[in-house]
A and B are shown apart, each in its own frame.
Chain A
Amino acid sequence: MSAPMISVRNLAKRFGDNQVLRGIDLDVQKGEIVGIIGPSGSGKSTMLRCLNFLEQYEGGEIQFDGATVGYRDGPNGKRIGDSEAKLRMLRAQIGMVFQNFNLFPHMTVLGNVIEGPVVVKGQPKAQATTEALALLERVGLADKANAYPSTLSGGQQQRVGIARSLAMKPKAMLFDEPTSSLDPELVGEVLDVMQSLAEAGMTMLIATHEMAFIQEIAHRVVFIDGGKVVEQGPPAQIFAQPTHPRTIDFLKRVRVYKA
């Protein structure tokens, strides 16, 4: 097996007195799709945000595509913070999709999608626009290019969010509960887009409560509780024969596991 795309070792993070992550270990291979499940408050969002250093962390180490994330080792065991420029370059390579979409409300759909390529990467606007329109086609929103986000449904907004991330041509995508704030009838259209990404071979980390979807799409499911990876494995195994009592308990509560 080649070097993993994402490698997390003993990741620790706290907010004040609240130790949220207590030594997470996780490897994600290129093209792999990993589902992150766990009770709310277990640290899923925090972990995802550490991966592109939207959150700082106190302990452990993260590597993305062979480069350290946030810190590197300095002399006498001290960590040296990465430069802002390096962090920006890292973030430009990792797409992130948010539970609340976080579209830029003062820009059109097209404006949202070309913002990164034009402003961050310095792409010519015409080229970025052509590519953005192709992306919007791909997420089924070509006709909404000139609409403002507030006029779209939640499902449409989230698809724009995905297109905005894809426009940066990321090497991996992080999804933080992408369908949790959607009305049930709008979940499917977003999952369809994610499915097509999966088929195209995108490396994906997906924190979600959509167990059926994860069971179908993920190569591996990671169950996090209390800031630790409690159990992980292929979906068939985790959903059908979980071994850890906390996993069993969690799956019972979300009604996937009946035994």
Chain B
Amino acid sequence: MSYNWHLYIIWDYRWVFVRGAMFTFELTLLSLAVGVIVGLPLGMARGAQHRLPRAIAMPIIEFFRSTPSLVQLFWIYYALPILIGVRLEAMVACTLGLGLHSAAYIAEIFRAGIASIDKGQSLAAKSIGMSYLTSMRRIILPQAVRRMIPPFINELANLIKLTTLASVLAVYELLHEANDLIAQTFRPFEIYTALAIAFLVIIFPLIYLSRKLELYWAKRS
């Protein structure tokens, strides 16, 4: 193979990458915020004793887990405005779409974490007169959070990768910047390679950390 590498292109356009990475970062954080804020109550409802909250939470969670994130984004950007009569900005639609998508997974992480705590813990908390919310806050969650952190980090890694979907709605995250750059320079090989490596550099440490934490806590309990 005699491909002529033009690696200097990456260096020449480094600020484009940095700008894209900032946007990716921003979109990730905003979506994560939506994911946590919606996901926590959704997960609590999903694991509730009463039937009603469960019946409400389950279809929401299953809907977002069983349909492609890209379709959800298109739906929120193109279909939702027809329904509510307000056009969403691309960034808002992406934050909402990716946020709700991750909320469904975060809800499951949250529910499973709570369910993994021995039933005796909430019995003991109840038996000294604690309310449900107090026992959650004082007894169950402090123990469950530990078990939630590794899968939560994995979900964060997924979310970072999913932000590339925002490029189709003209949000200037990494992939979109890269595509624009390719249109200018005709160097897809260098640019996509650099892009892949950029994601690898961000995501691999996260996955590594999650695995280490899992092992560490498994050993201690």
Contact = CB atoms under 8 A, between A and B. Distances in A.
A88 B130 contact: yes
Contacts of B164: none
B131 A168 contact: no
A54 B131 contact: no
Contacts of A100: 118, 120
A46 interface: no
Interface string A52-73: 1010000000000000000000
A119 B123 contact: no
Interface stretch (A15-23, A91-99, A133-141): A91-99
B129 A115 contact: no
Contacts of A91: 126-129
Given A102-B118, A119-B138, A96 B127 contact: yes
Contacts of B123: 49, 54, 96, 98, 102
B131 A84 contact: yes
Contacts, number: 59
Interface in A198-218: none
B200 to A, nearest CB: 36
B169 interface: no
A165 to B, nearest CB: 7
Contacts of B132: 84
A120 B128 contact: yes
B124 interface: yes
A226 interface: no
Interface string A173-214: 000000000000000000000000000000000000000000
A104 B134 CA distance: 14
A164 B129 contact: no
A116 B121 contact: no
A120 B130 contact: yes
A4 B142 CA distance: 40
A92 B129 contact: yes
A53 to B, nearest CB: 9
Interface in B108-163: 118, 120-121, 123-132, 134, 138-139, 142-143
Nearest to B220: A150
Interface of A: 49, 52, 54, 84, 88-89, 91-92, 94-96, 98, 100, 102-106, 115-116, 119-121, 164-165, 168
25 contacts: A52-B127, A54-B123, A84-B131, A91-B127, A92-B128, A96-B123, A96-B124, A96-B127, A98-B120, A98-B124, A102-B121, A102-B123, A103-B124, A104-B121, A104-B124, A105-B143, A106-B142, A115-B128, A115-B138, A119-B130, A119-B134, A119-B138, A120-B129, A120-B130, A164-B124
